[in-house]
Chain A
């Protein structure tokens, strides 16, 4: 399939869905309630777990990448140490983005 056929049919679908929704009187009302659903205890736990894994994965990926680069470039301990620190920073950056997205009104940052 080329890139051409899907887009008109998707646009068709969009227009038809829009018309049907308008006729049924349910155009976009779920937006507000969905924002509030994020604060349930279940997803708070999910969020905590997400943040924790993000930090650990940062260290693991940074360390592993440094290890492989070391083996490749023959600089055994140094790059691993450097990338371990960079990985920790990247993990914190991801957690920061996560929390910022949570505080933004509709989950979108900037």
Chain B
């Protein structure tokens, strides 16, 4: 307990299995460990849940089916029929972020998604993938995305850079949103938990109640941010597939 006083200490990367490949540090860290746990749990949920494929689903099968339906509906609502081929990617993305966020709520665990490297890696994959899909489907016509229609041509010198920038902002805002939510939430939890100890048995109850409420809120945010990340990926995908605005 004594070493955990700093509220930012929970975000520290620790090397569990030091490894070094050609001068590059590829150690297996606590972050990597919790990523592996997230993937193992998702795989277990899907495989164990669907092993019988009962017509009347049990609890685990219900959870697996709900996750599928949720993402399938999200894709259908935001991209339409053109989005079907990208379902596996969006589903993996959503489930991984959701599980990483939720596992972060387990005491003594590590929140993988509280590091911008991780969230930015997701965002840049989405960004590059969407751009490639856009060019693959529309060819050079995809560049029309940056040219607003019905604008007098002198304004294009101003508007095209703005459109281009607004496209380039996407991966940054996508990753910062998830990372900042996780970082802020978990720091706040730790800070208020610290108050419980320092205020003692007499006054410590107020922050304790607050921490309890905050924990509920954090679980909600874990869901919400996974949803927002997936939904925005769908919206960007929709732009690439249908190209309207």
Name A's B-contacting residues (CB within 8 A). 6, 10, 14, 30-31, 34, 42-43, 45-46, 49-50, 53-54, 56-58, 60-62, 65, 83, 86-87, 89-91, 93-94, 97, 101, 106-107, 109-110
Contacts and interface: CB of A to CB of B under 8 A. Distances in A.
Nearest to A3: B136
Query: B interface, by DSSP: helix, strand, loop or mixed?
Result: helix
A65 B165 contact: yes
Interface string B157-201: 000011101101100110011001100000000000000000000
B169 A94 contact: yes
Contact of A87 (B73, B169, B227): B169
A50 B169 contact: no
Contact of A10 (B73, B84, B166, B235): B84
B78 interface: yes
A31 to B, nearest CB: 8
A26 to B, nearest CB: 11
A34 B77 CA distance: 9
Contact of B168 (A42, A65, A109): A65
A3 B169 CA distance: 31
Contacts of A42: 220, 224
A38 to B, nearest CB: 10
A107 B165 contact: no
Nearest to B136: A3
